[in-house]
A and B are shown apart, each in its own frame.
Chain A
């Protein structure tokens, strides 16, 4: 690119020309125009003539700011022009800098240091003001450190115009360079007594920002804020002061007593809605125990709700949502208004109302509220309808279905919800249906009923959002088939032709469920005929044989299959389940053969499916059928000729597969994997290069993204195939493998047999100590559950037990990280506490709040500046600081000790705290000590 020529300077287009040109370009060609202009600018900006350069930069800034043109390449030109003597050029330069510089990456920022310093000490207040605004937008740690002295001087400038800007800039400097707090803090506090509204508003705004992040440190300033609250009549300032008190009051109850009156007074007096609303918000958030004030505030909220202005209505609802947390009566009193707002024209208002309604939900009213909301959802547009459904699902599932007492109702409700035409929450409904199936045993019969209604309805296949729900329904139908009234009907539903509309993954679930149903029917049939001794058949003969053979096999296997068999016997012979009573009539040989044929015809074509999931499952089922079919024909023919040769395998097979399916699946903790102890001698970090050859001939596990397909289910289904290939292997082998597998993981599945499953023959993958721990944990869980039940004595029947995992599901991982962090933090805190001036620089990176805290901590330490003495006398706290620090320190230590304790509750709490970021955690620790020191100070002043 050529350098700027004289022609460029003479005929340079002005910013106006560019704007006009842009307006004239036909739509779609702007980018060409901008590109051309940028080329011009690139030339012009190199000009030595400041005016040309300034215009070029001005144009560039415009294109950058409004048209997204990149101007990072021009950063140096901004710096260059900033030293221009002409104020107008300087303005252009600084504006471009503040609009385009990235404080973290723009390297030339440091070149501005000198110019900024010069301008900050200039006698021209406009130069100073310009430098301050620039600094506040491009400030980085280096600039902040280098320019703190200049800004400090300006904090007490006699010119209000620059003083207020300096105060506003200081906030940014604190953020970037926390040590600046020690220098500037006292001057800022002094400004709280300034009479100029501009200065006062700025300094209060500054404290408002600081308080938001770490309120505790500013408690000592409460008297100053109080004075402003009482004396000031400027609404902007009052709003900010109210915000400060909203943060301080919860930390110091005595403060609430003092401020509740003036705040109520403001609320009654003011005509400004903004101030009134802030008063309301402060009262309902922080002064909720002062009934009179809350009543006043709720009255005001009612006014807002009744107002025609949608803004006020929205805010009224928001305020009510805050009230709801502590004074739910206020919401209940205004229930009609809230429900009315659900059908407002504004979706934002509707959403607020929805949130509010959901906050009212409790065990007693959940059914009613859900009914209202569903009728609302049916009337609403699809988007809001789904919002409602999402909220319902979220609220009902909260904390393991805490608010649900009647699970039968809830699962039916989920089924209805899925059928709402606009419903797009299929995935969530799917998850909950399956989750309830796993967790709530008592809900299963109704769940199976709901699932049956879903799978049997051919109309539902048309809606793709339904597919996930159908997957859940199919899974439930298969998994809990023994609770079904009519397995044949379920089988037909699972195989209906329209399943071809489903996605492969859902289809795979369908096939898998059909597999389970088939196994169940066959097995029941075997049982039935087996019990019925008057009707000997080749198949039934083999059943007792299986049992006998089983008893000769491994102990684990026997115990497993026997329990299963016992269960099954009970089911069939006692006739307690609907199926058993109904089923005897269905379970004829004809019906079984018809069933097998039906499955075979329908799944046959799928064995050639291009989808692996579908294909594999279909061939599993077909494999079983192949095995079983000859026997069935034998049965029909009543020919008992050569049955002994092959038949044990077939019936055993059915039994084995059925056993595999009939074990309860429990919820699996997210951390289950983590809790599996690492066996001795297993080096996890070993090079996995030779893995390929080890696993070469193994079938790779199918990685399914589909939630219903559990890994161990895949294991179970692959057994028949594998077995049919190697018929010579004793069939019980698979069962024992499975048993081992379950034993290894059984603890984490939380099935009812958990404890019984621990047997000695398994190698010590986990040592007894682990078991003990787990057992105690189980015990804890059990007692917890019994407590839950006891808590609701007024209900006629106890709430069904919801299986919860003892470790709070998914907390562990984060917890550990948090603990490590907390350790680091307390280490840093100690360093800060014991550190002397030499470590100051290393502390630069510590958060602003902590150094603010340090500032307060060091009140009593003789520091050259006089600020501390002022503050000390202010607070009349003579010499408390030293002990405070010591006290504080011990406090921090105590915390750490407690952290390392086993108390999970506490750990959780701690974790929540540290979630807010390390800085906060740190200051929280510091603050604990501080409160003890500072709290007695305030009342002296206030009272």
Chain B
């Protein structure tokens, strides 16, 4: 399994989206998020975007007030994951138009669906923005 989890966390350390690709209990999730967020948020712009934590490698990137953190196993290509994060942000940007924290808060489900289109079972399955967004647009039209 390449990607183990995707987290979106704001500057205050509040989780805005959490998607795990392996089952963790609530307590484990909370502990993991707490530790990782503490580690990553303490870092500055001059430092690299990779943090090793437990048996994960966390690749993270900050966009305005939101941190995107992706936990991968050690075999994964870190730079590709950075590209993946960027793709995710671009996709959200295209859908919400200049995406911000509130968009994700109020459209958490959609954010999950986008992620679902891009990643399944920890594998990246789609990298084309229009392919990712087409089912969501269909859904929007339907409702």
Is A274 an interface residue, CB under 8 A from the partner?
Answer: yes
Separation in Å of the A757 CB from the closest CB of chain B?
48
Are B126's CB and A311's CB within 8 A?
Answer: no
Are B120's CB and A132's CB within 8 A?
Answer: yes
Are A88's CB and B139's CB within 8 A?
Answer: yes
Q: Which of B30, B75, B108, B124 contacts A201 (CB 8 A)?
A: B124
Q: Please report the C-alpha to C-alpha distance between residue A171 and residue B49 in the assembled complex, in whole angstroms.
A: 29
Known: A168-B123, A198-B125. A348 touches B52 (CB 8 A): yes
Is B56 an interface residue, CB under 8 A from the partner?
Answer: no
User: For chain B residues 1-48, which have a beta carbon within 8 Å of chain A?
Assistant: 1-2, 14-19, 21, 23, 25-26, 29-30, 43-44, 46-48
Number of interface residues of B (CB under 8 A): 52
List B contacts of A235 (CB < 8 A): 80
Q: Which of A65, A133, A273 contacts B116 (CB 8 A)?
A: A133
Separation in Å of the A503 CB from the closest CB of chain B?
31
Are A311's CB and B82's CB within 8 A?
Answer: yes
Are A169's CB and B120's CB within 8 A?
Answer: yes
Q: Please report the C-alpha to C-alpha distance between residue A137 and residue B108 in the assembled complex, in whole angstroms.
A: 18
* Interface range, A side: 35 or more
Show 24 residue pairs from A and B whose CB-CB distance is below 8 angstroms, ordered by the A residue. A19-B106, A58-B109, A66-B17, A68-B29, A88-B143, A91-B113, A126-B139, A136-B121, A137-B21, A165-B120, A169-B120, A169-B121, A171-B123, A201-B127, A205-B123, A205-B124, A209-B2, A209-B122, A243-B75, A310-B48, A311-B48, A311-B49, A311-B78, A345-B46
List B contacts of A278 (CB < 8 A): 77, 80
Separation in Å of the A169 CB from the closest CB of chain B?
7
Is A911 an interface residue, CB under 8 A from the partner?
Answer: no
Are B127's CB and A236's CB within 8 A?
Answer: yes
List B contacts of A172 (CB < 8 A): 121
List A contacts of B138 (CB < 8 A): 126
Are B120's CB and A65's CB within 8 A?
Answer: no
Q: Please report the C-alpha to C-alpha distance between residue A212 and residue B75 in the assembled complex, in whole angstroms.
A: 9
Known: A87-B142, A315-B78, A315-B79. A236 touches B124 (CB 8 A): yes
Interface string of A186-205 (1 = CB under 8 A from B): 00000000000110011001
List B contacts of A171 (CB < 8 A): 1, 121, 123
Known: A209-B1, A243-B75, A348-B47. A129 touches B124 (CB 8 A): no
Q: Which of B46, B49, B83, B109 contacts A274 (CB 8 A)?
A: B83
Q: Which of B17, B125, B143 has the most CB of A within 10 A?
A: B125
Are B48's CB and A313's CB within 8 A?
Answer: yes
Known: A198-B131, A209-B2, A348-B47. A62 touches B108 (CB 8 A): yes
Are A239's CB and B15's CB within 8 A?
Answer: no
Q: Which of A64, A91, A136, A310 contacts B120 (CB 8 A)?
A: A136
Separation in Å of the B6 CB from the closest CB of chain A?
12
Is B51 an interface residue, CB under 8 A from the partner?
Answer: yes
Are A239's CB and B123's CB within 8 A?
Answer: no
Separation in Å of the A86 CB from the closest CB of chain B?
10
Known: A88-B143, A137-B21, A164-B126. A16 touches B106 (CB 8 A): yes
Is B128 an interface residue, CB under 8 A from the partner?
Answer: yes
User: For chain B residues 66-92, which have a beta carbon within 8 Å of chain A?
Assistant: 75, 77-80, 82-83
Question: Per DSSP, are chain A's interface residues mostly helix, strand or loop, or mixed?
Answer: helix
Q: Please report the C-alpha to C-alpha distance between residue A415 and residue B51 in the assembled complex, in whole angstroms.
A: 33
Is A224 an interface residue, CB under 8 A from the partner?
Answer: no
Are B47's CB and A310's CB within 8 A?
Answer: yes
Q: Please report the C-alpha to C-alpha distance between residue A638 and residue B110 in the assembled complex, in whole angstroms.
A: 102
Known: A95-B112, A206-B123. A348 touches B2 (CB 8 A): no
List A contacts of B139 (CB < 8 A): 87-88, 91, 126
List B contacts of A363 (CB < 8 A): none
Known: A87-B142, A346-B48. A168 touches B120 (CB 8 A): yes
Q: Please report the C-alpha to C-alpha distance between residue A205 and residue B123 in the assembled complex, in whole angstroms.
A: 6
Are A314's CB and B106's CB within 8 A?
Answer: no
Q: Name the residue of chain A whose CB is nearest to the CB of B105.
A: A19
List B contacts of A168 (CB < 8 A): 120-121, 123, 125
Are A66's CB and B127's CB within 8 A?
Answer: no
Are B50's CB and A311's CB within 8 A?
Answer: yes
Q: Name the residue of chain B whose CB is nearest to the CB of A129.
A: B135
Separation in Å of the A502 CB from the closest CB of chain B?
35
List B contacts of A126 (CB < 8 A): 135, 138-139
Q: Please report the C-alpha to C-alpha distance between residue A605 and residue B113 in the assembled complex, in whole angstroms.
A: 75
Is A448 an interface residue, CB under 8 A from the partner?
Answer: no
List A contacts of B123 (CB < 8 A): 168, 171, 202, 205-206, 209
List B contacts of A345 (CB < 8 A): 44, 46-47
Is A559 an interface residue, CB under 8 A from the partner?
Answer: no
Interface string of A221-255 (1 = CB under 8 A from B): 00000000000000110010001000000000000
Are A239's CB and B78's CB within 8 A?
Answer: no
Q: Name the residue of chain A whose CB is nearest to the CB of B8.
A: A66
Are A65's CB and B23's CB within 8 A?
Answer: no
Separation in Å of the A88 CB from the closest CB of chain B?
6
Q: Name the residue of chain B whose CB is nearest to the CB of A242.
A: B77
Interface string of A844-887 (1 = CB under 8 A from B): 00000000000000000000000000000000000000000000
